[in-house]
Structure 1
Amino acid sequence: MKIHEYQAKDLLATHGVPVPRGVAVTTAREAKRAANDLGGKVVVKAQIHAGGRGKGRLVAKQAQTAAMYAKLEASPATMEGAVKGSRVGGVRLVGSADRAQAEAKKILGNFLVTHQTGPAGKKVQRLLIEEQFAIADEYYAAVLIDGALGTPVMIVSREGGQAIEEVAARDPKAILRVPIDPSEGFPAYRGRQLAKQLKMPHATIFQAGALFAGLYRAFLASDASMAEINPFVVTADNRVLAVDAKVTIDDNAAFRQPVATLRDKSEEEPMEIMAEEAGIGSYIKLDGNIGCMVNGAGLAMATMDTIKLAGGEPANFLDIGTVNRVELVVEATHIINLDPNVKAILVNIFGGMARVDVVAEGLVAAIKKYRIKHPIIARLNGSNVEEGRRIIEASGLDFILADDLGEAARKAVKAARA
């Protein structure tokens, strides 16, 4: 689960990480009041769940495709040009409270498109108004789980303020990776050692050590899969501050985290929320035009790979899990069909605990209930497969059957192109 920058900074501050003074607002009037309280010279920062906000493009309000998503508010299907009179980006430096209000009016309610949002962008409903300060140097710090080592790892670099992937590709030696023993944690003295390795100014070593230690404490306490500060800076007066922050909380630990107060569903893909509420195992929307319904995460990934090998693009990842209810298949098919990009649906079920006859009943019911017109390519095998095939044949509907995954993928690609 992702959280906003202002929420991440509140979390970090709770664990001793120094952050700039700032206020989250939802209206231009609140932005002016916050800027006044902070001295007038502030940064106005759009709050969306995506990086690259400073280099993004702000685009105007557009009619919502709410009908497509039933009761859920949807993202815009198409976007207009840049907001009139607006500079590029969702991060603005202003010199007065009046300017903060003016910039807030330009940003709020519009859509910010970055390299991480896709062409539709994300609607800006909140801003962070933050104090300005002179920056002398920028650094990077993050804690995440290293799957190979099986431990958390602290990653730091002198090259902050840019995508760490680009830094790694350009100069791998610019990145330091420090494995963390969970039984020991990451005490401040190790943070000070790390600050010295980064050749930070002597006057900032203790502050940086506290920042690194606090970052790890926040990571641990929030059950995060990643906690990132990019950048943290040394100011002209030798203060160390976390200027931007990102925390992603492990969904598997959500039951013991205050997710109700941190989660912002308006930032999430509406169809993914629908799938979650319907009890579907796992649904992730993608950019292709071939919808996928599969049982098992590994088989679902193999199905997407096979579609790509056949020259197509999957529209989603969907692991329907152990299929034992017709209603689950009906809703899963409906959600796939809601995607306006979908031109064909590939169903790949290998029944073990999942029953093929239940899947077949669900597919037939979904087509009749929601009047689905897209071609459905079905590769069915395993438990009760004979009964499943009988149900499909008796329905009189135009299913396209396949004996193996390769054949199913080829037929799906052909159907999507027709």
Structure 2
Amino acid sequence: MNIHEYQSREMLQTFGIPVPPGILVQNPVAAEKAFDELQKRYGSAVCVVKAQVHAGGRGKGGGVKLVKSAEEARKAANDILSKPLITPQTPPEGVPVTKLLVAAGVEIEKEYYLAITVDRVTACPVLIASSEGGMDIEEVAKTNPEAIIREPISAVAGLRAYQARKIAYFLGFKGKQVRMAGKIMHQLADLFLKNDANLAEINPLVVTKATDEHPDGTVIALDAKLNFDENAMFRQDDVRSFEDPTEEEPAERRAKQFGLSYIKLDGNIGCLVNGAGLAMSTMDIIKLHGGEPANFLDVGGSASEEAVTEAFRIILGDETVKGILVNIFGGIAKCDTIAKAIITAAKEVGFKVPLVVRLEGTNVEIARKLLEEAKGDIPMMEIGKDLTDAAKKITAHIAA
């Protein structure tokens, strides 16, 4: 589960990680007032107006603007809110922006990258840090891998003091910066472990310019991205309260309510499969035979007839779908449950596009009999002998 930057900053503050002050706004006039307030309360000579969407690369898409006056803040807010934001992580048409963060600017001496994620190889959290912050860590890994350090974190003991010092010295922190940076690393690890996070990223982590009060500058987080394990949300009420349904595809949100895993894709062949691995294989074989999948849809191992019927409604509600391939290997989800759902969907929704069904496994003979008896009510349906046959039939229908 993703959350917005302003929510991530709030969580960082809760765990004692310093961030510049900011104000959430939803229109240009409010952005203008926010600049005035930040200037009055904190002496901010410059501010940053930032689009709040669940996508990275906002700066490249024009979703982050530096402003030096209230008037500039209003104009920047109007520009960002007036059109969809298009970044490398959004659909081609972009995403609407309805919320903005107006944050106080700081004088930056040096930028760093700091993140914690899960290392699937070692099966433990890992802290990743780089002396090159403010840019994509993937790009740094390609062009200057020596600038990156990785340190495993114990899920029980957390980040140890010697590890934080090791990372701080590797990154080049000096004087009081070492203690400040180390403290932030400990706090970020604490946030990560206590909230079942998949990713806790600060980019950039910065050292501000030296002042009389802080001759070594201060270490603060300018931007943050947090992502959490959806399977753990039953015990993370505070995190779950940050969920923003408007950032999800309506069909994906609807599928989630029925325990379905659904992701819309760009093709025109709808897929209904049980099991994530089988769903991936089904999409692969569709492409192998010249088709393009319109979605990933895993009904899971214990889907009810009601949930599977809803899955058909979601697929058929997509106007780009020109055909449907059902591929079920019956285990916990029995083949006859799927067959009954197909028949119910035909009655309640209607199949106006070709439907090819491949069933194997538990209760497959019962399922085949049910579908055979229902053929008169579902004239668009064909039965595939196996997965290859089913894929060839549905792609042939689309090509015809």
TM-score by length of 2: 0.91
Identity of counterpart residues, as a percentage?
Answer: 49
**1:310 lines up with 2:283 in the alignment:** no
**1:406 lines up with 2:384 in the alignment:** no
The count of corresponding residues between Structure 1 and Structure 2 is: 385
Match of 2:199 in 1: 226
1:391 aligned partner, one-letter code: L
Displacement of 1:219:
0.8
Match of 1:4 in 2: 4
Q: Residues 86-122 of structure 1, C-alpha deviation per residue, up to 9 Å, x if partnerless?
A: xxx0101111112212221222253111110111211
**1:41 lines up with 2:46 in the alignment:** yes
CA distance in 2 between partners of 1:327 and 1:109 (Å): 41
Displacement of 1:323:
5.1
Judge conservation of contact 1:280–1:332 (CA < 8 Å) in 2: no
Displacement of 1:189:
4.6
Match of 2:55 in 1: 50
**1:267 lines up with 2:240 in the alignment:** no
Match of 2:42 in 1: none
CA distance in 1 between partners of 2:350 and 2:170 (Å): 63
CA distance in 1 between partners of 2:318 and 2:82 (Å): 24
**1:417 lines up with 2:396 in the alignment:** no
CA distance in 2 between partners of 1:310 and 1:97 (Å): 57
1:367 aligned partner, one-letter code: A
1:152 aligned partner, one-letter code: P
Displacement of 1:343:
2.0
Determine helix, strand or coil for the equivalent of 1:29. Answer: helix
1:53 aligned partner, one-letter code: R
Determine helix, strand or coil for the equivalent of 1:105. Answer: helix
Determine helix, strand or coil for the equivalent of 2:351. Answer: coil
1:223 aligned partner, one-letter code: D
Structure 1: give runs of 5+ residues left out of the alignment.
Answer: 57-88
**1:352 lines up with 2:331 in the alignment:** yes
Judge conservation of contact 2:351–2:380 (CA < 8 Å) in 1: no
Determine helix, strand or coil for the equivalent of 2:267. Answer: coil
1:191 aligned partner, one-letter code: A
Q: How does 1:160-171 map to 2 (within 5 A)?
A: 160-171=133-144
Determine helix, strand or coil for the equivalent of 1:123. Answer: coil
Match of 1:144 in 2: 117
Match of 1:116 in 2: 89
Structure 2: give runs of 5+ residues left out of the alignment.
Answer: 40-44, 211-216
CA distance in 1 between partners of 2:181 and 2:305 (Å): 56
CA distance in 2 between partners of 1:177 and 1:313 (Å): 39
Q: How does 1:12-411 map to 2 (within 5 A)?
A: 12-39=12-39, 41-56=46-61, 89-108=62-81, 110-237=83-210, 238-257=217-236, 258-277=238-257, 279-322=258-301, 325-395=304-374, 396=376, 397-411=379-393
Judge conservation of contact 2:272–2:325 (CA < 8 Å) in 1: yes
CA distance in 2 between partners of 1:328 and 1:112 (Å): 34
Match of 1:83 in 2: none
Residues 100 and 293 of structure 1, relative CA distance in 2, 3 Å threshold: same
Q: Runs of 4 or more off by more than 4 Å in structure 1?
A: none
Residues 169 and 132 of structure 1, relative CA distance in 2, 3 Å threshold: same
1:404 aligned partner, one-letter code: D
Residues 388 and 266 of structure 1, relative CA distance in 2, 3 Å threshold: same
1:335 aligned partner, one-letter code: I
Structure of higher RCO (CA pairs closer than 8 Å, 6+ residues apart): 1
CA distance in 1 between partners of 2:27 and 2:270 (Å): 39
1:328 aligned partner, one-letter code: A
Judge conservation of contact 1:323–1:358 (CA < 8 Å) in 2: no
CA distance in 1 between partners of 2:8 and 2:92 (Å): 26
Q: Residues 267-308 of structure 1, C-alpha deviation per residue, up to 9 Å, x if partnerless?
A: 01111111112x133222222222111112222222222223
CA distance in 2 between partners of 1:342 and 1:200 (Å): 55
Q: Residues 219-260 of structure 1, C-alpha deviation per residue, up to 9 Å, x if partnerless?
A: 112210111111112222322221111000111111121244
CA distance in 1 between partners of 2:141 and 2:396 (Å): 40
Displacement of 1:408:
1.8
Residues 390 and 249 of structure 1, relative CA distance in 2, 3 Å threshold: same
Judge conservation of contact 1:323–1:359 (CA < 8 Å) in 2: no
Residues 340 and 249 of structure 1, relative CA distance in 2, 3 Å threshold: same
CA distance in 1 between partners of 2:221 and 2:81 (Å): 24
Judge conservation of contact 2:47–2:66 (CA < 8 Å) in 1: yes
